[in-house]
Chain A
């Protein structure tokens, strides 16, 4: 009998230790998969589209429009939420129902990436895997060229139903451009700003950067160069365009160092022209 109980304990312990995790934030989900902890994942938010398997998990909705009961119905033991989802009464309700809620940094900086990995690793008790991943990422970050390059980059955001905007300072795009050692052409104004003809000409970008979806919204590259003022800029005259993976470059997650490297290389190849 004693043996049976021991056997039962041995068999059930691992399943007792396993968490049921709800991940909120695309960068957080990506890290959970990288730490090979996806077996504990029961749901994700609508921004978590990577890796592709994640999209098959139940979607709890947009991170700022969560539904407390919907999440609790999945019987989670741990909610890993990006700080970008806060402040949130829903997350507070979930915490009050006895579920552990861990906040992961939401900063738009390269330094935030190792922090995010460590937070997720600790919460999931995968410290050693997290350490290895942090080393790998810091390595990638260290390999990024430090010296600045006088290339002005303009990031254009085009969401359907909204005005076409350019990224000023204090945006994720600004963080990415500066991390690549480049200049943000619109760096003198804060936040996202509507594209103005004269503003764009005065900013004189050497390179225009846009997401795949944004380009689709505009109706293709030919349409992009028709945007007010763009044709009169160095980038517009030579049609220098970089189509980026917005989630990778602007998410400040695992794919960001490589995406920044690509941006840097694109800028360097311009200088050789």
Chain B
């Protein structure tokens, strides 16, 4: 069964995303057009800036946007709860705690490594929480409500620990900590981007291949079981994959809200709730939203930049409200 409308929607979004990427790669504090690039020799400073600063940033925005939105869609599907979001299982807060530890408890590290320390710490933190959730979900035998409680407990625990650390921290560490929490894509550099892509792309593909199972899960665990799915295993795999997506995203960009919670809802309005279309739709819409937000973040207040998390909410929020209102009117 091919859903013509959804296919059309996806194609439109893909075209829009590609156009937006080209436009975003042309916008920035430094005015450099594709034509200027074409004429300049590769060794030139503008190529330097385009290749090493702007291009990785555009690609990173797309990758992180996809990761956040898809993991949100999967979490909402697995928990069959529209309020589920990537932060729910405590992965972001685990990453936040690891970053706080890295900032407040100084290690004697070579300066080159010290720069990447928050990123590495966040990755380790989110990985640890993912493992914790993984083993818990085994112990709880896939009992989802218990898993949610575990997530809430991890969130509370990590939040408190970050509180203790920020209480212990000095002035400068405190500022570093609070800025990390705001989320930003300014850390975009090739090594980080490549590692990100290596983790995000396979996870996205694997999730897409499980989309049909995710649909069956919507009928309820029992029904899904009778339709021939190993329910617990599937839930397990879906959660770990989306945890991997969130962990990767958080470690490079800090906590960027809104994308994971709202984009899947918007896509459900537009494409329906078939996950085979919902997942790629969320990926494309998440990428578009974060790319637009980040492009504005780095061009609006040139030569400075704004926190991107503010802009995702500012752009996405009104649109989402409008959709809800329209939906409401449709029902009347």
A-side residues, CB < 8 A to B, are 43, 46, 58-62, 64-74, 84, 87-90, 92-93, 96-98, 170-172, 190-192
Contact = CB atoms under 8 A, between A and B. Distances in A.
Contact of B171 (A61, A67, A171): A171
Interface in B289-307: 298, 301-305, 307
A172 B187 contact: no
Contacts of A68: 53, 186
Given A67-B186, A90-B186, A190 B30 contact: no
B303 A43 contact: yes
B4 interface: no
B305 A70 contact: yes
B52 A171 contact: no
Contacts of B303: 43, 58-61, 67, 70-71, 73-74
Given A61-B301, A69-B54, A84-B172, A97 B45 contact: yes
A46 B175 CA distance: 15
Given A89-B187, A93-B52, A191-B170, A65 B28 contact: no
B74 to A, nearest CB: 31
A104 to B, nearest CB: 15
B29 interface: yes
B304 A61 contact: yes
Given A60-B304, A61-B303, A89-B186, A70 B115 contact: no
A98 B48 CA distance: 10
B49 interface: yes
Contacts of A65: 179, 184, 186, 304-305, 307
Contacts of A87: 111, 114-115, 117
A87 B180 CA distance: 13
Interface of B: 28-31, 45, 48-49, 52-54, 111, 114-117, 168-172, 174-176, 179, 184, 186-187, 189, 298, 301-305, 307
B99 to A, nearest CB: 13
Query: Which of B170, B184, B298 is most buried by chain A, counting CB atoms within 10 A of its CB?
Result: B170
B186 A73 contact: no
B171 A191 contact: yes
A256 B54 CA distance: 40
15 contacts: A61-B305, A64-B179, A65-B184, A65-B304, A66-B305, A69-B54, A70-B305, A71-B29, A72-B45, A73-B31, A87-B111, A89-B116, A191-B169, A191-B170, A191-B171
Contacts of A61: 301, 303-305
Given A43-B303, A69-B53, A97-B49, A89 B189 contact: yes
A59 B301 CA distance: 9
Contacts of B172: 84
B48 A97 contact: yes
B184 A69 contact: no
A72 B303 CA distance: 9
A93 B188 CA distance: 10
A-B interface, 5 closest residue pairs, ranked by CB to CB distance from nearest: A61-B304, A70-B303, A73-B29, A67-B305, A73-B30
Contacts of B189: 89, 93
A72 B53 contact: yes
A69 B169 contact: no
B117 to A, nearest CB: 8
Contacts of B174: 191-192
B50 to A, nearest CB: 9
Query: Which of B52, B53, B307 is most buried by chain A, counting CB atoms within 10 A of its CB?
Result: B53
A190 B28 contact: no
A52 B175 CA distance: 26
Query: Which of A43, A67, A90, A192 is most buried by chain B, counting CB atoms within 10 A of its CB?
Result: A67
A191 B302 CA distance: 34
A69 B49 contact: yes
Contacts of B307: 65
Contacts of B114: 87
B186 to A, nearest CB: 6
Contacts of A58: 303
Given A70-B302, A92-B115, 8 more contacts: A59-B304, A65-B184, A70-B298, A70-B304, A70-B305, A84-B172, A89-B115, A89-B189
A171 B304 contact: no
Query: Which of B168, B176, B302 is most buried by chain A, counting CB atoms within 10 A of its CB?
Result: B302
A48 B43 CA distance: 34
Nearest to B31: A73
B304 A67 contact: yes
A68 B186 CA distance: 8
A66 B184 CA distance: 11
A269 to B, nearest CB: 30
Contacts of A170: 170
A67 B189 CA distance: 13
Query: Which of B49, B303, B304 is most buried by chain A, counting CB atoms within 10 A of its CB?
Result: B303
A69 B29 contact: yes
A205 B292 CA distance: 53
